[in-house]
Structure 1
Amino acid sequence: MALGVGVAVLAMILLLATCGGGDGRDEDRGERPKRPEQAASGPSTRLTVPAAYDTARGWEVPDASPDHALATRSGLLAYLERAADGRFRLRTLHTRTGRPGWSGEPFTALAGPEHFPRLLSVTRDDRQFFVVWSYGKTGRDSPTPSGPLVSLDVYDTADGSRKRVEVPWTGAPTVSGTGPGILIGDGGARSAVVDPGSGEVSVVPPKELRPPKDCASCRQLTAVHGLTAKGLLVRGAREFWVRDGWFSGDVAPGGADRANGVPVSLDSGRLLVRWQKAKGTREAATRDLWAVHDAASGKPLVTAECRKPAIEPGTYPQAVLSPGLRYLVAGNLAFDLQERTGRCFEEPDGTRPLTLTTVTDAGLAYGATDTRRPAEALAGAGAPHVVDLAAGVPEPLTPGVRLPAAEVSGVGVFHWTDTRDRLHLIGYVRKDRPGTAP
């Protein structure tokens, strides 16, 4: 992670011991997680899902946290549950079989027992990690609480070993794991990067973000947008750059206005950018040019065009990659990064866009029309569709079909909330996958 010279290290890093034994307290040490005692049974909830999935084969988590995370290489899924005394515990299961994996020791969240901590996954080099984080002050019930800070419990997905990292932080934080490290930000120019392997924390002060000399708009509305293998990705009003790396004006795809691009979403080394079309070109006033770039070099990999929205959206679509990283979908956009093809699924006049939620390694993308956000489509809103990205023709599904939130290890992962407002995570095995129900 090349963050350059002048980087300050400010965090209190508590490397929790990984030896066995203990009473479950998390305040002073960590432990190797306990192994499961029994295997999972098949799912008791049978949703209406796409025909590719077998609702009689799979698994179910009946009371899961709002967040869950996937380690796509190992097929491990992580979720949080409430433990005794207002604490929480991280549990895992193997998506292929439904069998429980390792589980962590109970811990106390800074935000208190009322709210679940947040959960995400991050990949650095060949290692994957689950990260549980919360924000607040330590000793909330004492006369002199300390903080505020961001507390992160970082679990190695290989064995569940844990380290805790505490980063002093003022103001509401954003925390993401879409790059090769854990990025803490404030939506502006402040940031901190945590190495999930070592726990080392690095900070680049706003004055050291180093915008390109000839980029006036880079000094307007400056904000840290993400983390690449080469360093921080930073945006200005209309242009963007990687600190001590590449500049958007040097990597714009053909047909784009080199001085007018917005980085939209970064994940697993792929950066989605919305570009204005070059001035004076055909349809520059009515269409946008979307491109997927290699985040390390800035090189554009593939492009697609969509009609400009009548009203600028408050948020842009977030990129979702297939587990094997060949396909990328975001909103009504879909890209095959191997074949270098891109599509925009909408009517010629820009109406009835297909909001895509999920894409599989087989190139099947799921989504719905008549919805504004992927979360609405996953909750059952809109008209569900599936599209084979090789053919590029959306096919309607039966009304009311639930869409998978992800597919990994030949299992579709679905969300369902019951009448008691409990979230269920349900895995249904693909019908074309041989074997008996787990």
Structure 2
Amino acid sequence: MIDRLSSLYLHHLAVVRERADRALAATEHEHLVIAAGLPPRKFLDDQDYPFVASPHFRHWLPLTDAPGSWIVHTPGQRPRLVFLQPRDYWHVVPEAPRGYWVEHFDITVVRTVEEAVAQLPAPSSRPAVIAPTQPALAGVEPNNPQDVLDYLHWHRSYKTPYELAWMREASRIGARAHRAAEQAFRAGASELGIHQAYLAAAGVIDAELPYASIVALNQHGAVLHYTHFDRTAPDYHRSFLIDAGANATGYASDITRTYAGHGEDEFQSLVDSVEAAQLSFAAKVRAGQSYPELHIHAHHVLAGVLREHGFIRMDAESAVETGVTAAFFPHGLGHPIGLQVHDVAGFQRGERGGSIPRPAGHPYLRMTRNLEPGMVVTIEPGLYFIDMLLEELRGRPAGKDVDWNRVEAFKPYGGIRIEDDVVCTDAEPENLTRDAFAQL
């Protein structure tokens, strides 16, 4: 595994350096300076929030625990890592860099934030400094030039084989933890208990997850970002929606599954229909496919599911045009994923920036580009029974074509969402999530 990663990383670093060279040449900067960042301080406190290294920093090397460190890239020279290893007996000090990547960097170890800043190129040399503006650091001024960011973000959409290797690992960890969460649900655990089973199976703490897990029993599945974690198990486990991912060297997986409780045959039938639709959408992750058009197509297919299961009486075209499907499926089909769960450049028109607008009536879609080989996106359709949206629909003319008794009967289940991470290739899509579950 290490030998393979070493070979993949050598190619990855060459790609990253070439992209940086082109970004600097196009924008007349001499250096690219990237901060790992520092943990933000809690308001009126002497403690910090958990540290998360900048995605730009993690794009260059597999180093996630390096607060206060910097990467310096100058075209024609080996990249430099300024690594902060403080003298500190209050906290665990980051280990000295080691592994398959260190031979490709000139590494300088420093003991203080000030020493690290002193190692950076002078402002007069026109560096492009990609760093958070807070906390402020004397001697370095992040400028985050938009033209540089646009170029780097656009090309970060196309994952290298090295990146895909880590994303497969993130999917394997996530799938293993999802299986443990399902078992805890079947055993009657509370939402908190299910979440703890997930963490144990993934071998992480909350701060190491790529995003806050959604663990929703019964009607809680209707809250799209439900992160409450009831401590007491409900009397009856009717349904279970879990949206939770994992990290592998900074690369994320984002997985959602929905399960019916024992004997809940009608809800299981609806879950099966949504899953069949989801698989059909994932199969369309192919080069040239418009993501917004795939999203609109999903609305039409889900309208058919709603009609098949007796929730609506109108045809699919009418259900989409009148916004009926939006009441049951109010979010986007998915988003780019990689170093960030909602990865960059989902709306970008080209390497020089610009934006592709969302289709009218779909304000929560998170990607408007055409799919190309190397992109990784989530495919996550859903159907929900959300009181607020359903009440709005009931008051509109289209509401007369909804079977409200049927809707009321399904409200206690909350909702359904099924999500996979899918790679666009030159041929068949690669479903990272399904492949990971198949390996269990």
Instruction: Give the alignment's TM-score, normalised by structure 2.
Output: 0.24
Hey, which of these two has a bigger chunk of helix by percent?
Answer: 2
Structure with larger Rg? 2
- Give the TM-score of the pair, scaled to structure 1: 0.24
